[in-house]
Chain A
Amino acid sequence: MSSAVTSGLSPVRHVLSNGVAAIVQETAFSPAVTINLAFHAGSLYEPDDRVGLASFLARVIDRGTETRSADDIADILDDRGVVPKVSVNRHVLTLACTCLSEDFDDVLALLADVARHPSFPDNEIEKRRAETITAIRQDEDNPGVRAGESLQALLYGPDHPYGRPAKGRVETVERFSRADLMAHHAARFAPATLFVVIAGEVRAADAIARVDRMFSDWKGSPSRDRGVPAVPARASRRQTIVEMPDKPQADIAYGFTSISRLDPSYHSHWVMNTILGQFGLGGRLAENIRERQGMAYYVFSSFDPSLGPGPLVIRAGVDPGNVERTIAAIDAEVGALGREGATARELEETRRYLIGSIPRMLENNPNIATFLQTAEFFGLGLDYDRRLPALLQAVTLADVNAAAAGVLDPARAAIAVAGPTVARVEP
């Protein structure tokens, strides 16, 4: 029924009169559909004394509506094998799920009800609160999470929305009330903050008609959009150590703040990060630390720009006795790429790799939905997957080297280590 995806995406976009945007891509992989309801309602919009509220709302929102109990919702989901995944990043809260094509209408109707009319029953709030506190306690025992969260706080400051722990803290979660949840919902869930992305074996016209039926009568406007607070410039190197003496392995998080996703040099930074810590086993970093020195099973860098300047983060898990050597090796690779830049061969093979990866990024319905959601959020256009090869091809060696010089400087690195500190780390 649907056309196969063989030469790029061909999504259909339609905006309802109240501002809800719907983007639909027909595919023919399997008789299933992925639905993402994305709201501009991420952790950025939490009140400063309610850290973790957006994440907590994500746990409770699908546990009751004005007309459906938690048990009614569970019946609809479990009978169809469907699991809503409600995820939150700094800017967006996404209600996502994959269902059989035959269940599309029922599942979209349920998601629309959950998004528009959640009731946040008190008993559900208490159950999910206990789960959240348990999950935060688990994080406290996880060197990977501890190093990652410590680094975010070092990079952005502990009170900046990009620097705070997503789940919040035990003392904030203990205080969340039904009124807090209702207030966040009222402020940020509105037609103008919603975009619906659908990918799967469904007719685009039918899907848009269903979205129209579920959302066109929705009125209301959100609270004012909140900009990203300024990120303090850091001129010096800084580090923190989280002592976890009983753990066999230490986790290192080493990073910088970088650019916004809207920055014109985004694609140069993407290529630069791939060379540093992605290509093959993990770029130059893995070549040094894993392949030559045999110190780590995983070492890589990731680059996560958003509306504000996102982090570029290097991660490695190593024997506690090798922490110092590993940080020295990261310094060496970061310093070399920052000062001397990449080689022409690296640029060529990385561009070729990234351009060739595009069909893999779109291999199944959930991946396509995520790709289109990102494109919609940042305003990249419906044809972004088709323009992407030329955008990457246009990146020059000078562009990559400028990106590297702008971000990578060991003298300005932030470093967090969690684990047993056999070796002391000198700043």
Chain B
Amino acid sequence: MAPPEILQPSRVRTVHLDNGLKILVQELHTSPLVSVWCWYRVGSGDESPGHTGVSHWVEHMNFKGTAHIPRDEMKGIVERFGGSWNGYTWIDQTTYLETAGHDALDTLLFIEAERMAYGLYEPEDCESERTVIISELQGGENDPDQLLDTEVTASAFRAHPYRHPTIGWIDDLRSMTRDDLFSHYRRHYVPGNATLVVVGDVDTEDVLKRAEAHFGKIPPSLRPVRHRPLEPQQIGERRVLLEREGTTAYLKCVWHAPGVGDPDFFPLLVLDAALTGAKGVNLWTSFRGTPPQRKARLYTALVERGLASVVSGSLVATHEPFLYNISLTAMDGVALSSLEEALTVEIERVRQHGLAEEEVARAKRQLRARLVFENDSVTNVAHQLGYFETVAGPGVFETVGSRVQAVTAPQVADAASRLLANDKRTVGWFRPLRPAA
């Protein structure tokens, strides 16, 4: 029996300004709040060698003051409305957000218009941010799991720019100049490359009128063309071994995964739910906390048998093929070779025999619930609308629920057998060395 439809059809209004800016508005009157996000179709996948990390650094610079918002007034401009603000950069996108009381709407639109067109990029601000970002990078490297992730990702790609970390390589961070940052900013921060998303306790017509007033005067500019080399087909297993001081061993296994527009994406999403528990499709909430995984295959095979203390899987919606990632924390005292062997047995089993109907049904039920949980606030709804519009294109987000439900067991088996082959994987080990006494 099909479950009743609980994912409400979204009532989104889409409008384009004359200068090319796309605007999505959804009224949600459940809280006296508004969430404003401005998305740019640029991320670390658009960077070239020597300039890795430029998108993320530009994101940092866009909190530093603009032509009409002096630097010292940037602090407090959102807080005045009880608001919070943030931004993030990843491989396909850069985004800025504020969630605040609904009376902040006009100010939030003003801030985002300023950010799009009038950033200052004072040389001394660029310099002081250089060391902040290097500190961000080094903080991440304190975590062996993250260090391994960076190395495995870099090994899995030969040509495609998804190979380098979003924060950039340290030498590029040391050598990039203010002009590198500013020219990247001017090239990508144009109306035709952006999507403004407004969700909350607002009136759609009022939002559109105000958005036109703030953004309409920004001149149109051509949307930058994306140049991304194709990743050659992987023809043999790749391996990474990291040995450093530490206490715990980690194992990662990654395969090239379909982009969100590929017919294999949703079957692989269901497969991941059956292997490691359903996460949903919200980049922020997906990996917070543990997924429902006690019956998941890799949990029962690895955690319940005492080989791993944690198992997690990750398939994220991306524009082009990225990675399906399975990460394991070895139980204290368990050798990485035993863990890898047990993982390989399970992957081969699903490649050869697929999933049982009841496993597919459970995975789909989990995903149905997760899609509800991850859209529980104006901030999360706005995130999902903008994310899918930017990464996947118009109209995809609305179909996620039905596409999950349409996945069949044979589709999952077919995707598993083609995508998860041993000669297409990259395996990473972090082997801890005990500190010298």
By a beta-carbon cutoff of 8 Å, the part of chain A in contact with chain B is: 4-7, 27-32, 70, 73-75, 77-83, 85, 98-100, 102, 127, 130-131, 133-135, 137-138, 140-144, 244-249, 251, 279-281, 287, 290-298, 317-319, 349, 352-360, 362-366, 419
Contacts and interface: CB of A to CB of B under 8 A. Distances in A.
B180 interface: no
Contact of B82 (A291, A292, A359): A359
Contact of A297 (B6, B139, B144): B139
Interface stretch (B185-193, B203-211, B289-297, B408-416): B289-297
Interface in B212-267: 244-248
B435 interface: yes
Given A81-B368, A353-B76, 16 more contacts: A5-B31, A80-B365, A83-B291, A100-B369, A127-B304, A130-B306, A138-B329, A141-B144, A249-B138, A280-B75, A296-B132, A298-B139, A318-B135, A352-B80, A353-B79, A363-B377
A81 B366 contact: yes
Contacts of B309: 130-131, 134-135
A353 B75 CA distance: 12
Interface residues of B, number: 76
A356 B83 contact: yes
B341 interface: no
B32 A6 contact: yes
29 contacts: A6-B31, A29-B31, A30-B373, A30-B375, A81-B369, A81-B370, A100-B369, A102-B4, A130-B306, A133-B332, A141-B245, A141-B247, A244-B245, A245-B245, A251-B142, A291-B128, A292-B128, A295-B131, A295-B135, A297-B139, A298-B139, A317-B139, A352-B82, A356-B79, A358-B82, A359-B32, A359-B82, A363-B33, A364-B380
Contact of A319 (B76, B138, B369, B372): B138
Interface string B272-296: 0000011000000000011111111
Given A81-B278, A319-B135, A5 B30 contact: yes
Given A78-B295, A296-B135, A138 B248 contact: yes
B432 interface: yes
Contacts of B380: 364
A29 B367 CA distance: 18
B130 to A, nearest CB: 7
B127 interface: yes
Contacts of B369: 80-82, 99-100
Interface in B372-394: 372-373, 375-380
A114 to B, nearest CB: 13
A122 to B, nearest CB: 14
A150 B401 CA distance: 47
In the A-B complex, the 5 residue pairs with the smallest Cβ-Cβ separation, listed nearest first, are A356-B82, A81-B369, A74-B294, A294-B128, A297-B136
A137 B247 contact: yes
Given A27-B30, A130-B309, A141-B144, A349 B332 contact: no
B372 A294 contact: no
Contact of B76 (A27, A99, A248, A349): A349
Contacts of A318: 135
Contacts of A6: 29-32, 201
A134 B332 contact: yes
A176 to B, nearest CB: 16
B81 interface: yes
Contacts, number: 209
A143 B144 CA distance: 12
A284 B322 CA distance: 41
B99 interface: yes
B338 interface: no
B97 interface: no
Given A4-B30, A360-B82, A249 B247 contact: no
A297 B135 CA distance: 6
B141 interface: yes
A171 B116 CA distance: 56
A137 B248 contact: yes
Nearest to B80: A352
Nearest to B358: A79
A14 B279 CA distance: 35
B290 A83 contact: yes
A82 B292 contact: yes
Contact of B289 (A7, A83, A99, A357): A83
Contacts of B17: none
Contacts of A142: 142-143
B128 to A, nearest CB: 4
Interface string B122-149: 0000011111111110110111100000
Contacts of B142: 142-144, 247-249, 251, 317, 419
B101 interface: yes
Contact of B131 (A27, A78, A294): A294
B376 A30 contact: yes
Contact of A78 (B31, B75, B292, B435): B292
A141 B329 CA distance: 14
Contacts of B303: 127, 131
Contacts of B362: 78-79
A31 B372 contact: yes
B79 to A, nearest CB: 4
A249 B331 CA distance: 26
A134 B331 contact: yes
A402 B370 CA distance: 47
A78 B278 CA distance: 9
Nearest to A283: B75
Given A141-B432, A248-B142, A249-B138, A130 B376 contact: no
